[in-house]
Amino acid sequence: MIGISKSFGSTRALVDVDLQVRPGEVHALVGENGAGKSTLMKVLSGALEPDAGRMVLEGEPYTPRGPLQARACGVAMIYQELSLAPDMSVEENVLLGVEPMRLGFVRRAEMRRQVQEALRLLHHPDIHPAARVGDLSIGAQQLVEVARALAADARVVVMDEPTSSLTQADTEVLFKVIRQLRDAGVSVIYISHFLEEVRAIADRFTVLRDGQAVGTGVVAETPTSQIIRLMVGRELEDMYHRTRHEVGEPVLDLAALTGEDIPLDADLELRRGEILGIAGLIGSGRTELVRAVFGLDPVASGEVRVLGVTCTGWGPPRMIRHGVGYLSEDRKTEGLAGNLTVADNLTLSRLEPYTRFGLLSRSRMKEAARRWIGRLGIRTQGPDQPVDSLSGGNQQKVALARLLHQEADVLLLDEPTRGIDVGSKADIYGLIGELAAQGKAILWISSYLPELLGVCDSLGVMHRGTLSEKRAVADWSPEAIMEVATGGEIVADEITAESEDPLGRTGKGGV
Amino acid sequence: MSQTETQGDLLLTDQPLARRRIMNILGPMLGLILIVFAGGIAEYFKEGSINYWSPQNQCMILTQTVVVALGAIGMTMVIISAGIDLSAGSVIALSACAAAYVVREVATPGVSTLAGSQAVWLPLVAIGAGILVGGLAGATNGLLITRLRLAPFIITLGMMTFARGLAKGVANMQRIDAPMNWISQFTNANLSLFRLDVTWGPMSWFGPVAISTAVLVTIVLAIAAAIVLGRTRFGRHIFAIGSNEDCARLCGVRVERVKWGVYAIAGALFGLAGVVDFGRLSVGDPTTALGKELDIIAAVIIGGGSFNGGVGNVFGSLIGALLMAHLRNLCVHLGLPNYVQEMVVGAVIVVAVTVDKVRQGKKE
């Protein structure tokens, strides 16, 4: 891939990216969340068309017009989330879309033969082609995905975070398969956040940052710390204006809070005027923690205290009245009611002030909405505009305005800056600083370390449901956070003795 | 997801909500006017006169719409909440039978000495019984949907069959012949509360214009429902749930309670529709309103409702109901056979919704 560029509107997702993968090598593609890894792979698989640049596959120009054609050219994708039909058999899944046909009928025997051949190559003839895929273990399902790539006679196999749903043992199996593929002359592009995996399996690597390829090299010759520097390599820009604010008395206390699965035994103290960040990988239990606090998820044991009142398992309506606000990480599916207006969304969680004798005054609702639009600088045509016609950043401001409108004292913000443009991010950082100065307590979950380090007063890190102790932000380095987030200490001893900071990852899982 | 999703600070639509809302009603309204206009012309060319346009006929169409219209008011709420109620037709039949049962059992000499079907309070009890039975059926729907967390489609499909069976049981597999009472005056335009006799010279062509009480009740209830939907917390919560249930939940909306209320209210409205149906037929027929739920749903969808929830308005639904009643009536006036009528109505439902979809699509 040479000089690939891709923009979405004003966002430049890929800028002049070169990626060269040799036959029979495992090439690791690493980078932060949003660095452009997935976009690049979508271009490779034909799901997206690049704005500029060209691709060459085995000496031939390669311009796939869609995933099916890419597959025909020998480029196969294995996604992070399994993309199998669980109710169909192994053979049906392996050959889905490329079934051998004659006269419009599927040739069952030929199908069986091709699938058995692929499974034999994977040293797994024990997987029966007629087995229902949903009955297989996750590891075996992953193998079926690989078999799918093999059956298509793939020459380039892309694996996007393939181990995120695998156990240690299944990961070992997968690595063995990857080595077999490599030995058979297949090129594997391996996307991962886990640098110890990269070290274990990859021959060479390319680091993407902000849509640009910032470094490439041989894994064995590059210390992990250098890869991390390439990945993070960003200065804390002056985006982060700190508003002076004083930290007061505790308002939110968690005592050994345990959910049904995660979090485990979380202890936390959040004070008035404090901005407390929570870092961690996706699935580490950050979202589950705040959902349990807000009463959206069941609490198995432990206690939540807000403003001195025990409110474990209260549920959202009571929590809201008690002064707690929750901003969901997923604006589209949870955060906003898309086809309702800005005014409706903004006032939804507190309609009481506009009710008189049971009737709402829409004009007063709009008036209030207009005030908040002005205060937060929301770019909209007015309170009557449907919220899903706003840009991401402005939508997020509406969601934040709702928390402020409901007069929350404790704000639980889950990824408040995800997927919004840089300008809106800066606005939101400023706003959060102001809110802290007004004495509100803010719990901020983010996968983007620079903003946590730039905005928060203190920071905790979650790893597999466990929350680390909270420390002042000055006591954390990006490397130290990653170490805790990935449970790095243990692996550090085992794998990379020569490296000082063994593990690197910043964001959570890729796209 | 990644940051690349942002589409810059583009505002994708510039149509203010108020205008959209008016357009939503104006669309079906224009369709209705078109049908009335073209229908009259067609009848003139075919029959040489236009009975279809006569005020008497128009008033009759209004009365004929009442059952579907009342149902559509309830169904609008359900569909705005992103739900569906397939039991509407059966609940109408059940309530009609319940009302007829009360009138017959209580009024039959020997059972009650107070009797006399003309007793003013008796039909009141029957009306109450009909509404109550409908409300109970709806409340059961709501309870099962929120407790079992099953799709409304499944639960109300079950209720559809269950209520139909129950209606037949109540009626003992027959029709319930109830003595005459004032419920039937409900749908009788000549005994309406609103009656206007135009006797003045040139205007006397109009003859007496009388809108039946049932129509007036429907209009009052529609206005009430529109106020509830637009101007109360309950109403806004219904919209929020339909637009995005998870969002509503974390905004502190008591999602289960609101849904429960929606199905119960819708059930009560179906119950009232059943009472009207009983009044119109003067018998409680357990096989009445068969498939009516589909007419009702179609009315809501023609009127701008969406199965995705979060959209819909009561007046649009009423126009949708009226539009279908007009089509049926027009077919009769044009002397078209019954089967053509059904085909036309079916086609118009699809056309109306497609036109609406295209119109919506253009905006986005």
d(CA A206, CA B246): 40
Q: Which residues of chain A neighbour B249 with C-beta distances below 8 Å? A: 296, 316
pLDDT at A491: 39
List, for residues A197-206, the tens digit of each pLDDT value: 888 889 999 8
Structure-token pair, residue A341? 């207006």
What is each CA distance from A109 to A99, A100, A130, in whole angstroms? 11, 10, 12
pLDDT band at B361 (very low <50, low <70, confident <90, very high): low
Q: Which of A11, A335, A380 is opposite residue B4, by nearest beta carbon? A: A11
Average pLDDT over residues A126-152: 80
Question: DSSP assignment, residue A487?
Answer: T
Where do the domains of chain B lie, and which CATH numbers do they carry? 29-38+49-354 (1.10.3470)
Q: Nearest CA to CA, how far is B6 from chain A (Å)?
A: 6
Across the interface, whether the CB atoms of A328 and B246 are under 8 A apart is answered yes
State what percent of residues in chain A have pLDDT above 90: 19
pLDDT at B108: 59
Average pLDDT over residues B34-60: 87
The CATH class for the domain spanning A2-232 reads alpha beta
Q: Nearest CA to CA, how far is A427 from chain B (Å)?
A: 14
Listed in order, the ranges of chain A carrying CATH 3.40.50.300 are 2-232
Asked if B199 has any chain A CB less than 8 Å from its own CB, the reply is no
Q: Which residues of chain B neighbour A390 with C-beta distances below 8 Å? A: 11
Reply yes or no: is the peptide bond before residue A263 cis, omega within 30 of 0. yes
pLDDT band at B202 (very low <50, low <70, confident <90, very high): low
Evaluate if residue B218 carries a pLDDT over 50. yes
Report ipTM for this prediction.
0.75
Give the three-class secondary structure for A210. Answer: coil
pLDDT band at B270 (very low <50, low <70, confident <90, very high): very high
Evaluate if residue B206 carries a pLDDT over 70. no
Evaluate if residue B117 carries a pLDDT over 70. no
Give the pairing of strands A101-102 and A105-106.
antiparallel
List, for residues B317-347, the tens digit of each pLDDT value: 999 999 999 998 998 888 889 899 889 888 9
pLDDT band at B5 (very low <50, low <70, confident <90, very high): very low
pLDDT at A148: 81
d(CA B121, CA A192): 77
Please indicate whether residue A420 or residue A24 has the higher confidence score (pLDDT).
A24
- Is B131 within 8 Å of B272 (Cβ atoms)? yes
Please indicate whether residue A54 or residue B134 has the higher confidence score (pLDDT).
B134
Asked if B188 has any chain A CB less than 8 Å from its own CB, the reply is no
State what percent of residues in chain A have pLDDT above 70: 88
List, for residues A202-227, the tens digit of each pLDDT value: 999 988 887 788 888 888 888 777 77
List, for residues B150-185, the tens digit of each pLDDT value: 999 999 999 999 999 999 999 988 998 887 777 777
Q: Which residues of chain B neighbour A340 with C-beta distances below 8 Å? A: 239-240, 243, 310
Q: CB pairs below 8 Å between A and B: how many?
A: 151
Structure-token pair, residue B12? 């994708």
d(CA A11, CA A97): 34
Place of tokens 């190559």: A121
List, for residues A415-458, the tens digit of each pLDDT value: 888 767 667 777 888 889 889 999 999 999 988 787 888 889 99
pLDDT band at A501 (very low <50, low <70, confident <90, very high): very low
Evaluate if residue A171 carries a pLDDT over 90. no
Asked if B233 has any chain A CB less than 8 Å from its own CB, the reply is yes
